[in-house]
Structure 1
Amino acid sequence: MHKFIFTLLLPVIGVAQQKSFNIQGTAPTTKNGCKVYLNYQADGKLILDSTVVKNGAFSFKGGVGELSYARMVFDHENKGSYWVLNMGDRFYFYLANENYKVAVKDSLKKAVITGSPTQKAYAAYLSKIGGGFMNIIDSANQEMSAADTAAIPAIRKKYDSKFAAMREKERKFINENPNSYFSIIALTDVANRAPMSEVESLFNSLGEKVRNTTPGKEMKSRIVATHTIQVGLAAPDFEQPDVNGKAVKLSDFRGKYVLVDFWASWCHPCREENPNLKKAYGALKDKGLEVLAVSLDDKQTRNAWIKAIETDGLPWVHVSDLKGWQNQVAVLYGIRAVPQNYLVDPEGKIVAQNLRGPELTSRLAAYIH
């Protein structure tokens, strides 16, 4: 047990021992000319790098200030970054300032990764929890795409059970490895379903260095939000740029009812809800309703965000810092799922939350006279 825990401590204390990462990859020469993409965050910025396989080899170099969840994608047919990043041959890992060797034979997903203590620790962590979130998601998507509509509920139930089993293993991992970086990663997933009182207890059990990582600070913000983002309390003010870059504050709408709506262009339930929101807005805007939509899109999906606003015909105010799930307002409000909304009264107090569905107009009208 102690050896395992020590291995998993390495990413927390070892990231800064060299100043850059170096990824050296090999692939069959039949893959010459194929593009390989690397997607990660550094200093709060989303980075998409790419290279081409030449003479059976490819490489990436760069630097991260802290462990960064990364996605490497092999474009076997040169279909382009948008398609392969979401549907292609992908490999997820944690990027540190270390040396990686990636040996690709037939697919990147099955590649052998060596040389990185962080990758070794991450692989050990995944084995402890049974494969990890993205592996379950990918399997579920593959099964659903091949199934007919009638089979979808049973498939969803099957994978919900897999997620539940994984989260029990994540809880155990957290309790056994309070100083592992991957314990805060596990807790981030557990928090999507667990009561925040349990999440707060698990968070407080973690080591100080783990709590002070970026995901640790984000989790702290979520915990604080459970105490501050409540019906009856003042809605924290915020400021973000609109689609034209103009700064917009929540407090700019003081004197009106404001539905702060968290959504994203890629969120199907959000898009399905938009007709209900349009109907309510049309009926109540002259009575003092405003909608302030905060998008969890990122820089890569900015154009999709703008297009979704136009396609769905959404006439209200839209803002985003284009940081995805790290959107500062989303972090402030503890948002971990979309769609989600809060109704703020003319004095700036939260009076309702998660008002949705065909009855949205009548539910809002109960507050707006």
Structure 2
Amino acid sequence: MRRIVFILCLLWGACVAAYAQDGFKITGTLGGNLGGKLVLVGNGAEGAVSLGETVMIDGDFEFTGKVDGMILAYILTEERQPVATLMLENLEYLLVAGENGIEVQGGGDSQKVLNEFEAVNRRIAREKMLVEQQMKAAYAQQNQMQLQALQQQFSKVMQEAGEKQAELLKTYKDSPVSAFIVASGMGQMDYVSLQTVFDELGEPARNSLFGQMIVQCLAAMKDVEIGAIAPNFKGSMVNNDTLSLYGVKAKLKLVDFWASWCAPCRQEMPNVCKVYKKYHDKGLEIIGVSLDSKILDWQQAMVVEKMKWLNIVDAQQQIATRYFVRGIPHTLLLDENNRIIAKNLRGKTLEKKIAELLGDK
């Protein structure tokens, strides 16, 4: 009988070991009276996919399942608020409440690398919150010296954080986590900066899913760099007619991304009016691309600013996204073949360039 029990124990242990190697287990012990539904979402080559749901009771929860290789995963509340980010493999993970937020313990090497990057991000978030609180108090007291000191303090924190992140990217240049970190921030980078950072990644990171996402982003960015043929776009005008970039024929085209609610855009409009009046008959055409979501505001602004040139609305910002417009006003100068000649010129610099290109001495 003892031998049978011993054999059964061995079989049970083998089954448990096999499960531990074959699937993942995520345990949360956050404490307190936290509760509610949680979802586990994976983000792989096929996009977002649900990996499971559970209910947290008094801060405790558990997910189990299986993934094919490592996958980026997020634990979210039912309202889609982030709880934790995982480099999920078929391993065990423990989530606990730490001094600076939720800490992820366990997992593999990739999770440990991610934790180091996350520590940098948590420091930035913590310092940002403290500085904002102090700046509100200083602003209420009209203490300009204190405001300036706080801005310098936060700038120093951001510089140190950037240096630390660069150090981590160099240390873990082969890790797919480094590619993930770069991919997460590439929307705020220009083409040259992103290409430089990507080139410094190791081949395993560049060949990872996140590395390939960067490759795709770089290709899209290159399409709107100076020297490239601008991608065509279409949009609705005030009279509901459709206008396309390629359908507009001119020696020189100025594409101007703006919005009625954008103060710098409105301040620049007199300059745009000036160049339009001066150079329209010499071959200049302007295509305004408004990011307004309220059509009436867009229409009224065109009347107030005396815009006589072509204008379309990009309420869903699909065109702006394709052109990597991160702030407005944002301008592009195109030649008659829609080749991008210059970007983000304004005021006298814009007028000087237009005069040069149209041969107006």
Q: Hey, what's the Cα distance between the residues in 2 that align with 1:55 and 1:359?
A: 63
Kept in 2: contact 1:259–1:289 (CA 8 A): yes
Runs of 5+ unmatched residues, structure 2 = 1-20, 302-310
Q: After the TM superposition, which residues 60-209 of structure 1 pair with which residues of structure 2 at under 5 Å, given as runs?
A: 67-68=71-72, 70=74, 72=76, 85=81, 91=83, 93-98=85-90, 100-104=93-97, 110-117=101-108, 118-126=110-118, 131-133=119-121, 135-147=123-135, 148-149=138-139, 150=144, 151-185=146-180, 196=192, 200=195, 203-209=198-204
Alignment check: 8 A CA contact 1:240 1:319 kept: no
Per-residue deviation, 1:186: 5.5
How many residue pairs align between the two structures?
Answer: 305
Q: 1:165 to 1:30 in 2, by over 3 A?
A: closer
Measure how far apart 1:123 and its partner are: 1.5
State how far apart, in whole Å, the 1-side matches of 2:243 and 2:72 are. Answer: 30
Q: State how 1:1-369 maps to structure 2 within 5 Å.
A: 23-28=26-31, 30-32=33-35, 34=36, 41-43=43-45, 53-54=56-57, 56-58=59-61, 67-68=71-72, 70=74, 72=76, 85=81, 91=83, 93-98=85-90, 100-104=93-97, 110-117=101-108, 118-126=110-118, 131-133=119-121, 135-147=123-135, 148-149=138-139, 150=144, 151-185=146-180, 196=192, 200=195, 203-220=198-215, 229-231=224-226, 233-238=227-232, 250-255=245-250, 257-259=253-255, 261=257, 271-276=262-267, 287=280, 288-292=285-289, 306=293, 316-318=312-314, 320=316, 327=321, 329-330=323-324, 337-339=326-328, 340-356=330-346
C-alpha displacement of 1:136: 0.7
Higher relative contact order (CA 8 A, sep 6+): 1
Which letter does structure 2 place at the counterpart of 1:235?
I
> Are the counterparts in 2 of residues 24 and 101 from structure 1 also a CA contact under 8 Å?
yes
Does the aligned pair in 2 maintain the 1:24–1:102 contact within 8 Å? Answer: yes
Task: Report the alpha carbon displacement of residue 178 of structure 1 after superposing the two structures with TM.
Answer: 2.7
Distance 2:38 2:296 in 1: 33
Q: Shift of the alpha carbon at 1:347?
A: 2.9
TM-score after normalising by structure 2: 0.58
Residue aligned with 2:85, SS: strand
Q: Residues 170 and 317 from structure 1, CA distance in 2 versus in 1: closer, same or farther, beyond 3 angstroms?
A: same
Is this contact kept in 2: 1:235–1:349, CA < 8 A? yes
Q: Percent identity?
A: 15
2:37 and 2:116 mapped to 1: Cα distance? 29
Match of 2:306 in 1: none
Distance in 2 (CA, whole Å) between partners of 1:259 and 1:203 is 30
* Larger CA Rg, structure 1 vs 2: 2
Other-structure match for 1:6: none
Deviation at residue 272 of structure 1 after TM alignment: 3.7
Say if 1:319 and 1:351 are closer, same or farther in 2 by CA, change over 3 A: farther
Q: Deviation of residue 125 (structure 1)?
A: 4.5
Offset at 1:290? 0.9
Larger deviation, residues 39-48 vs 152-161? 39-48
SS of the residue corresponding to residue 337 of structure 2 reads coil
Which structure 1 residue ranges, 5 or more long, are not aligned? 1-16, 296-304
In structure 2, relative to structure 1, the CA distance for the partners of 1:61 and 1:248 (3 Å cut) is: farther
Q: 1:44 & 1:280 partners in 2: Cα distance?
A: 47
Report the Cα distance in structure 2 between the residues aligned to 1:215 and 1:247, rounded to whole angstroms: 37
Deviations 1:72-103 (A, max 9, x none): 46x9xxxx66xxx5xxxx65534435554333
> Does the Cα contact within 8 Å between 2:293 and 2:315 map onto a contact in 1?
no
Q: 1:253 to 1:137 in 2, by over 3 A?
A: farther
Which whole-Å CA distance do the structure 2 matches of 1:156 and 1:101 have between them? 37
Q: Secondary structure at the match of 1:237?
A: coil
Cα distance, 1:355–1:216 mapped onto 2, change above 3 Å: same
Aligned to 2:10: none
Q: CA RMSD in A?
A: 5.3
Q: 1:100-154, CA deviations, whole angstroms, 9 ceiling, x for partnerless residues? A: 433348x9x523423422433311445xxxx324541442144224423334443
